[in-house]
Amino acid sequence: MMARRIWFLISMVNAMNVLVHLHEPLEEMIEGGTRQEVYEFLAARYAPMQMKLWDMAVASNASIVPLWIQNTLIVYNATTSLIEGFSAMEDVLAVEQDQIVYLDETMDTFDVANYDESIQTNVKLLHADEAWSKGFNGKGVTIASIDSGVRYSHEILSRAYRGIVKKWRYVDGKSWKHDYAYWITKSQNQTLTPDNADEVGHGTHTLGTAVGAQGVGVAPGATWIAARPFNSDGSATQSDILLAAQWVMCPTTWEGTQPDCSRGADIVSNSFGGNSSIEWMDKIVQTWSKANILPVFASGNVNGFECGSVLCPGCIAEAIAVGALIGGTTLWGGSGKGPGKDGVIKPDFVAPGVAIRSAASYDDKKFTRMTGTSMATPHVSGAAAIVLQKCRMTEKKCRMKEIVSTLSSTSFHDLHKPFLVPSTCGKTSYDKYPNNIYGHGLPNVGAAINQNVEYTAMA
């Protein structure tokens, strides 16, 4: 059994919001199940343990939200005496105050005045257009964004949004129904409109690169959904990120009722991360993987001179971490490098991340350019969607490990020696693949769909 860790702050405040983590039961989670099967397994496993704490919280006038995606309770307005009571319970592994997480700062953000409808260079560098010409554009695949939100009415994003409702009686031909399509935290408590859907701009931009139409996104045929735990200042509480992670696996109505795992994400694109202390996301990533959901994370905008700088949870083996390139052949110096946790190779892939043009969040027809590993990440999410679509033509259920393997074995390797920053990390050189600089390289979607792969169907 793991040693018990009890963390809480002694302060003058009367109450605080905390996360109460309980020990994991001994039985193993099922491997390779559907989202619904994993949900049912976890909910049944955790509920009895969590009920032991419920009455204690209610008696102290605290409000409590149980999670099923991991064995954790979110307790709002917990008093010091309640925290001490939780800490004394044998089933409790840790009690910690709700933390704040920030989106990575992007660089060189500027507007793009004119719109060019040709396929963008960053998309061509992954040879996504070659896949499109053969009928593969991500159709039938759902990509979820956990970010600052998405301007769902943008001209390159609206058609792929699950929440669009087309009705002839509307002047613009569109209406919106956000059930199973969009989630915001209760604390944000606002009526969702296109203008307030993403007040940071980060999520709209990244999702545009994943699924945007008109040559902007890698997989324009995919469907997208979005969870917005991050506020207008780019901050989010740990608890809201956990709730968002749970929602993308089994989305709910706009009111938060009737979860439906069949409408959950196949791929979750996450352009955020933290240092190794962000262990609380590890269980989420592992659960997604068990449910055959691909977790894709930014490797991070970090000190470019440091090896082992890849952000977590992209640092763990179950996650896909994405580094950034200048163009298509040279590492962007600030890109997070491996090795990752327990010495695993990181990043897993690299993709264009400098001055990437994508959708702006303040107008349906505007575009901006941004720089960072956040911008690189959705390229790989889109690439995986296309390969998954190809797999589903022959198999009813495709394993994400094999999707990643197909991308890995067909990636582009002729990448240049990094300039100024390290070219060797964790005893792996940049020109020997996979390595802790470029991972498996730059995905080549055209080659990936042409590869003759016999995919293994899930049981």
User: Using CA atoms in the order 148, 151, 154, 160, what is the torsion angle rounded to 10 degrees?
Assistant: 80
* Measured distance CA(289)–CA(278) in Å, rounded: 18
Per DSSP, the chain holds a count of helices (H) and strands (E) of 10, 21
The pair phi, psi for residue 111, each rounded to 5°, is -75, 155
Reply yes or no on whether 81 is catalytic. Answer: no
Query: Which residues is 270 bridged to in the sheet?
Result: 297
User: Using CA atoms in the order 249, 255, 260, 264, what is the torsion angle rounded to 10 degrees?
Assistant: -30
List the catalytic residue out of 145, 374, 381, 411: 374
* Alpha-helical regions (H) of 238-359: 238-249, 282-290
- Residue 137 burial by Cβ neighbours in a 10 Å radius (0-12, 13-18, 19+): buried
* Measured distance CA(267)–CA(320) in Å, rounded: 11
Reply yes or no on whether 379 is catalytic. Answer: no
Reply yes or no on whether 440 is catalytic. Answer: no
Helix, strand or coil, per DSSP, at residue 79: strand
Distances (CA, A) of 384 to 132, 143, 214, 294, 404: 14, 10, 19, 9, 7
Q: Does the CA dihedral 265-269-272-278 come out positive or negative? A: positive
Backbone torsion region of residue 366, taken as left when φ is above 0, otherwise alpha when ψ lies between -120 and 50, otherwise beta = beta
* Measured distance CA(326)–CA(355) in Å, rounded: 9
> Does residue 126 contact residue 387 with C-beta atoms inside 8 Å?
no
List the catalytic residue out of 104, 145, 147, 299: 147
Question: Which DSSP symbol is given to 261?
Answer: G
List the catalytic residue out of 127, 154, 178, 202: 202
* Measured distance CA(48)–CA(46) in Å, rounded: 6
Which residue type is seen at 305? F
Task: Give the H/E segment covering residue 65.
Answer: strand 63-66
Instruction: Give the residue numbers annotated as catalytic, written as ranges.
Output: 147, 202, 374
